[in-house]
């Protein structure tokens, strides 16, 4: 229940709250969360360039090119440590390309009534064409929390992924 709102329709930069929409679309378009996705070198290069452009230090889950990761683990990597590479791996996989996925994000936002939102990436890193409002984020977060898998993931304190072809003990995120 919305109790109080102030400047709720003022456009602002959503940062990593963007990953809520990334997760929503992934959960709605990937019925088998155990399916493995390969981290493409082209996406790693994209993330590297983004990291350089942002002065380094962007949030990453720790994957490397060629790594095979389940969709479930990519979702946890996206939502717990806010892994920017995980978000873009999912975007490429679900949408067929980043730009196609960003368009899916914009369509879903409009479907949810988030009419003052425009997504330009799946990770939330700054882009002048990437914005939302507090009210629109409320709509998207409320919708996301209706998904039991999403609600479970975002309330997880510590998660250890399945082993990958490059990390035999998996990853642990807190």
Q: How far apart are the first and last CA of the chain?
A: 29
Task: Check 34, 59, 82, 97 and give the catalytic one.
Answer: 82
Task: Check 19, 72, 108, 161 and give the catalytic one.
Answer: 19
Q: Return d(Cα 37, Cα 11) in angstroms, integer.
A: 34
19 tagged catalytic: yes
User: Which residues, including other chains, have CB under 8 Å from residue 103's CB and lie 6 or more apart?
Assistant: 95
34 tagged catalytic: no
The partner residues of 158 in beta bridges, in order of sequence, read: none
16 tagged catalytic: yes
Task: Check 16, 36, 40, 167 and give the catalytic one.
Answer: 16
Neighbours of 147 (CB within 10 A): 14
Q: Residue 47 class from Cβ within 10 Å (0-12 exposed, 13-18 middle, 19+ buried)? A: buried
Catalytic sites, residue numbers: 16, 19, 82
């Amino acid at each position: 229940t919305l109790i109080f709102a102030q400047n709720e329709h003022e456009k602002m930069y959503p940062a990593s709250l963007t990953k809520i929409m990334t997760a929503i679309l992934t959960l709605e378009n990937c019925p088998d969360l155990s399916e493995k996705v390969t981290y493409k070198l082209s996406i790693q290069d994209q993330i590297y360039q983004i990291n350089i452009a942002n002065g380094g230090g962007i949030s990453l889950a720790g994957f490397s090119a060629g790594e095979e990761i389940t969709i479930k683990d990519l979702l946890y990597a996206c939502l717990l440590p806010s892994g920017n590479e995980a978000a873009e791996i999912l975007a490429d996989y679900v949408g067929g390309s980043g730009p196609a996925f960003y368009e899916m994000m914009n369509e879903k936002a409009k479907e949810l009534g988030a009419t003052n939102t425009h997504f330009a990436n799946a990770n939330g890193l700054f882009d002048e064409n990437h914005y939302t409002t507090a009210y629109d984020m409320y709509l998207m977060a409320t919708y996301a929390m209706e998904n039991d898998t999403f609600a479970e993931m975002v309330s997880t304190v510590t998660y250890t992924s399945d082993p990958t072809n490059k990390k035999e003990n998996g990853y642990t995120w807190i």
